[in-house]
């Protein structure tokens, strides 16, 4: 039997730059919504609040309650040159895995002066990062940082609060689970009143969410590990719905990866925490997730591959072509898509 190799070029599309959203919509749940119904291949336009009509009593909406940390910290070398330290992952008290700029000039033992404090480069990691030891407590480190916006957003005037979901709770992400940015507290309350169970899981979104696939053979791409947690309550609610005919709506690709990583062959979710590098691409068999709320993703990204795994490459590219023609807004601060 011959197996076809999935190539990166098959997941590239052309996006006019003006469709890359540079700010969020004025009202969270008034962003536009494109609904793709996989069963009949139809596309329907609306606004995000319309998601209410696609849930039924007994369904479950799963949210990622990670909170973006102020990961961008600016300092200077003892000689006066500017330095940026980007927090990636907490390692131990006052010690973080980071990215640094200019990386080529910050070797082991180098010092960075940050608001009168010292940070020392302890070692270089295999993926080009640095282990950095600060001479201040973690609370102070985060006080000196700024919320990092995606690299394709060139608008520094955005309220940092708009890059957090209204239910963000557990600090640890360096990028927002952006599908959740569309929800308001009122919309969540209405869903709950309609008999929809809302549960939260946690996956701390890493910098890898912005890193493109670089291997032409997609199967050769390696995902970075990200920490996740699923509570007993969340697992029980999801499993109960699966057994009684309820549908599982994942809000965002991070929720998809969390649920699929924590499920057994029987499709039931197991509570617990750990790290996952699950790479979901076309050919993957979903065990938990029935429907997905998501944004429009970058060409050649693992996120685009994930939604193509759920809905097929053909249907996703048809939807993206339609969205471009109808001038939907793309990426983190852009409009939303519901895959049924």
Nearest by Cα to 149 from 162, 168, 130, 132 = 162
3-state helix, strand, coil in the chain (%, to 5): 30, 30, 40
Distance from C-alpha of 258 to C-alpha of 278, rounded to nearest angstrom: 9
pLDDT at position 4 is 66
pLDDT in tens, 33-63: 999 999 999 999 999 999 999 999 999 999 9
- In Å, the largest CA–CA distance within the chain is 66
Distance from C-alpha of 310 to C-alpha of 322, rounded to nearest angstrom: 18
Tokens 């201040």, located at residue:
136
pLDDT in tens, 106-151: 888 999 999 999 999 999 988 888 999 999 999 999 999 999 999 8
Model confidence at 2, pLDDT cuts 50, 70, 90, reads very low
Assess whether pLDDT exceeds 60 at residue 301: yes
Distance from C-alpha of 120 to C-alpha of 135, rounded to nearest angstrom: 8
Kindly state the average pLDDT of the residues 200-221.
86
Assess whether pLDDT exceeds 60 at residue 312: yes
Burial (0-12, 13-18, 19+ Cβ within 10 Å), 225? middle
pLDDT in tens, 158-202: 999 999 999 999 999 999 999 999 999 999 999 999 999 999 999
Tokens 């996120």, located at residue:
303
Strand-by-strand arrangement of the 197-203 sheet? 42-47, 32-37, 336-339, 291-295, 248-251, 60-64, 197-203, 226-230, 272-276
Residues sharing a CB contact under 8 Å with residue 221, sequence separation 6 or more, in sequence order: 213, 214, 215, 279, 302
Q: Show the domains of the chain with their CATH numbers.
A: 8-68+156-339 (3.40.1780.10), 72-143 (2.40.10.240)
Report the run of H or E that residue 34 belongs to, with start and end.
strand 32-37
Assess whether pLDDT exceeds 60 at residue 284: yes
Written as six digits, the tokens of 285 are: 């068999």
Q: Write the DSSP symbol of residue 137.
A: -
How far CA 39 is from CA of 8, 43, 141, 291, 340, in Å, comes to 26, 11, 50, 12, 8
pLDDT at position 213 is 85
Nearest by Cα to 320 from 57, 3, 14 = 14
pLDDT in tens, 257-275: 999 999 988 889 999 999 9
Mean pLDDT is lowest, of 103-117, 142-156, 268-282, 322-336, for 103-117
Kindly report the length of the chain.
Answer: 340
Assess whether pLDDT exceeds 90 at residue 3: no
């Amino acid at each position: 039997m011959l197996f076809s190799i999935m190539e990166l070029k098959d997941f590239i599309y052309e996006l006019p730059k003006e469709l890359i959203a540079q700010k969020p919509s004025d009202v969270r749940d008034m962003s536009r919504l494109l609904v793709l119904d996989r069963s009949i291949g139809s596309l329907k336009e609306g606004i995000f609040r319309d998601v209410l009509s696609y849930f039924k009593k007994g369904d479950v909406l799963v949210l990622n309650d990670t909170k973006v940390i102020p990961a961008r910290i600016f300092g200077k070398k003892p000689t006066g040159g500017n330095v940026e330290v980007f927090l990636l992952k907490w390692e131990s008290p006052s010690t973080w895995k980071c990215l640094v700029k200019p990386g080529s000039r910050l070797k082991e033992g180098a010092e960075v002066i940050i608001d009168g404090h010292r940070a020392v480069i302890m070692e270089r990691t295999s993926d080009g990062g640095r282990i950095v030891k600060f001479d201040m407590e973690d609370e102070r480190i985060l006080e000196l940082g700024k919320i990092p916006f995606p690299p394709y957003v060139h608008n520094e005037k955005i309220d940092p609060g708009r890059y957090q979901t209204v239910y963000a709770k557990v600090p640890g992400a360096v990028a927002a689970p952006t599908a959740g940015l569309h929800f308001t507290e009122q919309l969540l309350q209405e869903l709950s009143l309609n008999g929809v169970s809302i549960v939260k899981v946690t996956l701390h979104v890493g910098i890898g969410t912005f890193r493109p696939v670089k291997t032409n053979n997609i199967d050769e791409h390696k995902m970075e590990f990200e920490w996740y947690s699923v509570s007993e309550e969340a697992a029980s609610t999801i499993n109960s719905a699966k057994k009684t005919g309820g549908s599982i709506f994942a809000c965002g690709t991070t929720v998809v990866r969390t649920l699929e990583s924590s499920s057994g062959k029987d499709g039931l979710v197991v509570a617990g925490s750990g790290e996952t590098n699950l790479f979901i691409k076309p050919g993957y068999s979903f065990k938990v997730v029935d429907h997905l709320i998501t944004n429009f993703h970058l060409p050649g990204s693992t996120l685009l591959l994930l939604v193509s795994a759920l809905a097929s490459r053909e249907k996703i590219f048809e939807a993206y072509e339609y969205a471009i023609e109808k001038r939907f807004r793309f990426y983190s601060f852009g409009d939303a898509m519901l895959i049924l």
